């Protein structure tokens, strides 16, 4: 089983102690690869190599270094109609060695391999937390839109089988196998709820243990349903459905300047009709056109926003909305334009989140606003 590091939180490595009196500095080599450890994929866009030198402080005989920010730059998060995990897990091979100030090697090279994912740890989990998660969602509960697909992200190294059931009866089963390839360490189990209603997913782990995830089907007949997909704290894509009223708006920006439209001497060429070929000059003085803009607008553009309402949801969704608030990757699937859904990258406009509970608030509904992550007038250069 791999040692998983979540790169949105610090991960510190410490070089082995080196007591040689000629010690000058340590060499830290960080190699980021995709593929399997026995057959790494060459020339991948996610592959990178970093070599760092660091001197020990004072009389210390080893050094520490945080590798998370370097590794985090190599992830490629791309959501289309299907979630892709090809660059959501990366092999990180860290080699450390000691050297004299003149560059002569001292001792042996120490190499450690990690599996990196773009998640994060919480403050309470402490430094270098590498605890495993089997189903890559924070609660054993999911709500889904009737007739649409359910995508359940799982840890492919520890899960053997996933079954979808209804009232205790099997609806569909998926066997899981780990090929060792980095791109399938996070695996999305896809179930089409148009086939039938399900109320639980049973995740079977190595060693005959199971995790039961309760599923709740929601059917909305009045409003078009919007799906928000975000990168959760475990480094996997997760869906949240907003079932009730949505409103769209447009925010525009522009700049203005006073243009000079006054013509002290205006020469116009007035070509007569054929067969005469000569052009006539029409000269006027001290004039301007009343149909021309004297206050000119330029750099006009706009960004569309949409405000979504979740409808009444379970209190168990609170952790998901909280993770959405701090996610760096969010997409909107709009089913109002096309039944298969049109996907837009969006940015969450909210900066605060009031966590609601059944005890305090009774029925729980959340309203959130999202801004499409592009302008109406294409300005990509």
pLDDT digits (tens, 9 = 90+) for 168-178: 999 999 999 99
For the purposes of burial, counting CB atoms within 10 Å of the CB of 61, is it exposed (0-12), middle (13-18) or buried (19 or more)?
Answer: middle
- Whether pLDDT at 280 is above 80: no
Confidence at residue 82, expressed as pLDDT on a 0 to 100 scale: 77
CATH superfamily of 132-219: Immunoglobulins (2.60.40.10)
Confidence at residue 88, expressed as pLDDT on a 0 to 100 scale: 95
Mean pLDDT of the chain: 91
Is there a contact between 67 and 96 (Cβ–Cβ < 8 Å)?
no
Confidence at residue 336, expressed as pLDDT on a 0 to 100 scale: 74
User: Is residue 274 very low, low, confident or very high in pLDDT (cuts 50, 70, 90)?
Assistant: low
Confidence at residue 278, expressed as pLDDT on a 0 to 100 scale: 67
Of 50, 5, 7, 55, the residue nearest 29 (C-alpha): 50
pLDDT digits (tens, 9 = 90+) for 202-254: 999 976 789 999 999 999 888 889 999 999 999 999 999 999 999 999 999 99
Single pTM value for the model: 0.89
pLDDT digits (tens, 9 = 90+) for 45-100: 889 999 999 999 988 999 999 999 999 999 999 898 778 889 999 999 999 999 99
Confidence at residue 272, expressed as pLDDT on a 0 to 100 scale: 61
pLDDT digits (tens, 9 = 90+) for 114-165: 999 999 999 999 999 999 899 999 999 999 999 999 999 999 999 999 999 9
The CB density around residue 215, as the number of other CB atoms within 10 Å, is 21
Pick the CATH number of 4-125 from 1.10.8, 3.10.450, 1.10.3470, 2.60.40: 2.60.40
Confidence at residue 95, expressed as pLDDT on a 0 to 100 scale: 96
**Residues in the chain, total:** 381
Residues of the chain with CATH 2.60.40.10: 132-219
- Whether pLDDT at 348 is above 90: yes
Question: Measured at the alpha carbon of residue 250, what is the angle toward residues 246 and 255, in degrees to the nearest 5?
Answer: 165
Q: Provide the 3-class DSSP secondary structure of residue 315.
A: helix
The CB density around residue 74, as the number of other CB atoms within 10 Å, is 22
Backbone angles phi, psi at 44, to 5 degrees: -75, 145
């Amino acid at each position: 089983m791999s040692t998983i590091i979540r790169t949105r939180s610090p991960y510190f490595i410490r070089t082995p102690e080196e007591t040689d009196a000629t010690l000058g500095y340590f060499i830290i080599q960080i190699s980021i690869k995709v593929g399997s450890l026995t057959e790494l994929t060459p020339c991948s866009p996610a592959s990178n190599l970093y070599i760092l030198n660091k001197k020990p402080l004072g009389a210390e005989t080893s050094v520490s270094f945080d590798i998370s920010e370097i590794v985090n730059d190599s992830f490629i998060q791309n959501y289309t109609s299907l979630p892709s995990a090809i660059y959501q897990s990366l092999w990180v091979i860290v080699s450390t060695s000691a050297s004299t100030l003149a560059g002569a090697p001292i001792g042996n090279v120490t190499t450690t391999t990690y599996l990196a994912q773009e998640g994060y740890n919480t403050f309470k989990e402490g430094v270098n937390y590498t605890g495993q998660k089997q189903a890559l969602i924070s609660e054993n509960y999911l709500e889904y839109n009737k007739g649409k697909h359910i995508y359940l992200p799982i840890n492919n190294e520890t899960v053997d089988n996933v079954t979808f059931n209804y009232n205790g009866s099997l609806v569909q089963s998926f066997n899981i196998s780990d090929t060792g390839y980095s791109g399938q360490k996070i695996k999305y189990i896809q179930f089409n709820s148009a086939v039938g209603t399900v109320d639980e997913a049973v995740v079977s782990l190595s060693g005959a243990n199971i995790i039961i995830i309760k599923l709740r089907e929601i059917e909305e007949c009045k409003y078009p349903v919007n799906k928000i997909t975000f990168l959760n704290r475990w480094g996997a894509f997760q869906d949240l459905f907003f079932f009730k009223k949505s409103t769209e708006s447009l925010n525009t920006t522009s700049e203005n300047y006073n243009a000079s439209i006054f013509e002290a001497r205006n020469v116009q060429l007035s070509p007569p009709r054929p067969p005469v070929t000569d052009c006539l000059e029409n000269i006027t003085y001290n004039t301007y056109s009343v149909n021309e803009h004297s206050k000119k607008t330029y750099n006009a553009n706009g960004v569309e926003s949409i405000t979504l309402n979740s409808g009444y949801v379970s209190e168990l969704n609170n952790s998901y909305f909280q993770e959405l608030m701090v996610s760096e990757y969010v997409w909107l699937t709009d089913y109002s334009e096309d039944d298969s859904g049109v996907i837009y990258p969006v940015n969450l406009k909210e900066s605060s989140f009031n966590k609601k509970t059944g005890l305090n608030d009774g029925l729980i509904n959340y309203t959130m606003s999202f801004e499409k992550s592009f302008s109406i007038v294409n300005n990509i250069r």
